[in-house]
Amino acid sequence: MTQDPLTLYKLIVLYMLNRVTFPLTKAQVGDFILEKEYTNFLTLQQVFAELIDADMIKARSNRNRTHLTITDEGRTTLSYFENRISDSIKAEIDSFFISNELKMRSEASVLADYYKSVSGEYEARLVAKEKDVTMVEITLSVPDEDTASSICVNWQKKNQDIYQYLTSQLF
């Protein structure tokens, strides 16, 4: 029985999201699928859109990242059709996660965003999570967008050091 390639790509995305306990970004899923040359970028964007429209995955955007999670509907669908994904593709996905899980988990658990407040200042909102538990959440008010943007970039790089400093000073 032949299979529609778009269906296979959707199943691969669902399988990937079902294999982790944290959200994956579109870029992380895309890195795997495009690196393996299963499909091209435009088709992958169509796959994401159709899965979101069918309520099989949820997408949450934060600055320049879109985080994806599988829904109950997506899990149910995957349970019916997972056998359509070859064992070799499943092995490649598992290998990808073994090689990249720590990096992907870190990217998903450290969030930074900024916005213009009603007072005209910019507020940088910084969050570090571990297994869905918020470890630290900080909101800093700053006078301009460049500073807020810089804070968000530096939070991605230095969040562990900042968390350790705060806990050492407060405990």
Same domain, 98 and 116: no
Same domain, 80 and 29: yes
Same domain, 100 and 126: no
Give the pLDDT band (50/70/90) at residue 3: low
| pLDDT tens column, 27-78 | 899 999 999 999 999 999 999 999 999 999 999 886 667 889 999 999 999 9
CATH number where 9 lies:
1.10.10.10
Same domain, 87 and 143: no
Q: Measured in whole angstroms, how far is the alpha carbon of residue 140 from the centre of its chain?
A: 24
Q: Kindly give, in sequence order, each residue whose CB lies less than 8 Å from that of residue 72, ignoring residues fewer than 6 positions away.
A: none
Same domain, 16 and 92: yes
Could you identify the residue written with the tokens 């985080």?
67
Q: 137, 125 in Cβ contact below 8 A?
A: yes
Same domain, 135 and 93: no
φ/ψ of residue 47, rounded to 5? -60, -50
State how many domains the chain has: 2
| pLDDT tens column, 93-149 | 999 988 887 677 766 678 888 889 999 999 999 888 876 688 889 999 999 999 998
Domain that holds residue 24: 5-105
Mean pLDDT of the chain: 88
Q: What is the structure's pLDDT at 59?
A: 93
Q: Kindly give, in sequence order, each residue whose CB lies less than 8 Å from that of residue 96, ignoring residues fewer than 6 positions away.
A: 32
